[in-house]
Amino acid sequence: MSRGWRVLHVGKYFAPVPGGMERFLGDLVTAQQRRGDEVMALVHDDGRRLAGGDPPWLRRCPVWLRLLFTPVSPTFGFWLRGAIRDHEPDVLHLHLPNVSAFWALLLPSAWRLPWVVHWHSDVEPSRFKPLLRLAYPFYAIFERALLDRASVVIPTSAEYLEASVPLGAVREKCRVVPLGLDPARLPDVEAGSGDEFWRGPGIRVLAVGRLTYYKGFETLVRAAAALPDIQLVVAGEGEERASLERVLDEEGRPASIRLAGAVDDATLARLMASCDLFALPSRERTEAFGIVLMEAMRYAKPLVASRLAGSGMLAVAKEDVNAVLADPEDVAGWRAALASLAADPSRRERLGREGAARFAREYDIATIADRVSGAYDLAHAVVSGDPAVEPAGTGRLLVVIPALNEAEDIGDVIDQVHGLGLADVLVVDDGSVDGTRGVALAHGATVMRAPLWQGAWGAMQTGLRHAVRHGYDGVVTLDADGQHEPAYVPELLEAAKHADVVIAACPSRGSLMRQIAWTYFRLLTGFRLEDLTSGFRYYNARACRLLAGPEATLIDYQDVGVLLLLSHARMRIVEIPVAMNARRHGASRVFSSWFTVGRYMAETTLLCLARWGFTRPGRRIAHPPAATSPNA
């Protein structure tokens, strides 16, 4: 979109009301205004106002009562209609869970707009709250209607999307965008500031959050009570404070544990800066992401968090990257996790340093606002009804590196990619036994490890599926052995402005076996490409979606079969010339012997004949590939 968006956000509350949704909405609005969008926010009124008064773009609707943690506002529909009339938005951005967002289902003026639903969390039918469990089936009726009407749904992590039952029915609408924070809201703090909050010596552990049933603070308090060298401060207020006070009584009121109550932003910054590690012991998926985890990462603090299946916490707090994980409600496990970090200052420093680097790379609100804008593009493309419309991308790039026993080289490859500042890095470990995973994690890559060996293409497809689930606009694939030079990635991206797929070609690297195979398959398929087997490629989002599908699973190699599938879908394939390095260690999986070459050629020939039909040598296939070579 050439001009800025006119956005109407419908949220639950807004600052200075504390809470993760409120902090994120405030930071997102600020970032959108900086990028030129015209924004209005409609939320519930709890009586508090911003310092100096609320701005004109912020409207707070009166609340009549609170029921099951939910503000009830019968007049919200009138306020929403008025906001749409006055602001004339291009897009309606609804933040859920929020009962008042359901008013959009009843307003004709709302139905004329594209809807983007920001899915902050499921409404968990909690075992701790039986009334909530009874009420959810009625809420779910309206929730499903809202999801059906939405043009785009934004879950905040792939982990949460995979586990969410409500989102399972609208998976095709979902585009993952993580939450983010404005670093300017979390200022640098002078060394020593905040020392007055801690009592005596010991490792300083901070926990922050509303004292509510799903936070699991009881587990943390009991774990810390048995560790004399641990100081614990829990900052926050809520309905479970009395329960925590009883736990403290049972543990003998240790002087090293303190419930600090609610704190303002300035105090929170000083607490974050002065603690040694940050803990979040949540026990239910209602904790969908953990904004406070990102705040702690901003201050380079190592994390101790719950290994909470299906929660986005696992995307933020990555085990042995920037966090130590413990099972929810496992007091002994939490005690061991705290003790292990307390005894290892070098590990605390390493985890904190990597957390700060990940915060800068992944969670800056300016980047997140750009990705949300991409969701608005997609929503308008959907509403236009034109299936050929390709929404403008946000520029997010993922480098996928399949690896099998590449510990000697992969760290240098990852460092070169990060040095470009253009992409996230995903290493797909295909069963390595030499420490490849640990090296990749230490160098800041995300690592996926399949339970069974997949082969090179299977590992590559795992990375492509990850990219599709996480909403990346493109993928670059390259080898882990140092043959491919990441310095050529900008040239791939430049060529990708006019193509769906770009191949980094180096025909001169071809051995006799490789040259024979290339010549044969050029004759068989009609391709004019110089380097049919290069694994150094760029795929745009459309190509990624195709190659992440079940049809591509039938392919064994990332070369001729993949190119035929792409060509059959009428995607434009181009090459750029590059130089490649000699393999430093090991041998090619395909071109290591005449036997493996013969097997490869036989399998690929059968694929060509069985799937797309035989073509006479020198003729093009029925749907000729739109492929060119720099030497053509």
- What tokens appear for 105 in the block? 């289902």
> What is this structure's pTM?
0.68
Predicted local confidence at residue 632, as pLDDT: 34
Q: How far apart, in whole angstroms, are the C-alpha atoms of residue 173 and residue 375?
A: 10
Predicted local confidence at residue 584, as pLDDT: 61
Q: Count CA within 13 A, CB hemisphere, residue 220.
A: 32
- What tokens appear for 503 in the block? 């191949």
Predicted local confidence at residue 509, as pLDDT: 67
Predicted local confidence at residue 626, as pLDDT: 37
Domain 184-362 falls under CATH 3.40.50.2000: yes
CA angle at residue 354 from 491 to 190, to 5 degrees?
120
Architecture of domain 395-628: Alpha-Beta Complex (3.90)
The DSSP string of 101-127 is: GGGGGG-HHHHTS-EEEEE-------T
Each as own residue / partner, the long-range contacts of residues 162-166 (CB below 8 Å, 24 or more positions apart, any chain) are 162/310, 162/469, 163/285, 163/309, 163/310, 163/311, 164/119, 164/122, 164/310, 165/122, 166/122, 166/140
Architecture of domain 6-178: 3-Layer(aba) Sandwich (3.40)
DSSP designation for 507: G
Same fold, 184-362 and 395-628: no
Q: Give which of 304, 130, 290, 297 is closest to 204, Cα–Cα.
A: 304
Structural domain boundaries of the chain? 6-178, 184-362, 395-628
Task: Split the chain (632 residues) into runs of 10 and give each run's mean pLDDT.
Answer: 82 89 94 96 94 94 83 94 97 95 95 95 70 74 91 91 86 88 89 82 93 93 94 93 94 92 90 95 89 94 94 92 95 96 95 94 92 90 60 70 90 91 90 88 85 78 86 90 91 91 82 65 70 88 86 69 83 91 60 57 60 38 35 34
Q: Give which of 482, 412, 458, 452 is closest to 552, Cα–Cα.
A: 458
DSSP H or E segment with residue 403: strand 397-403
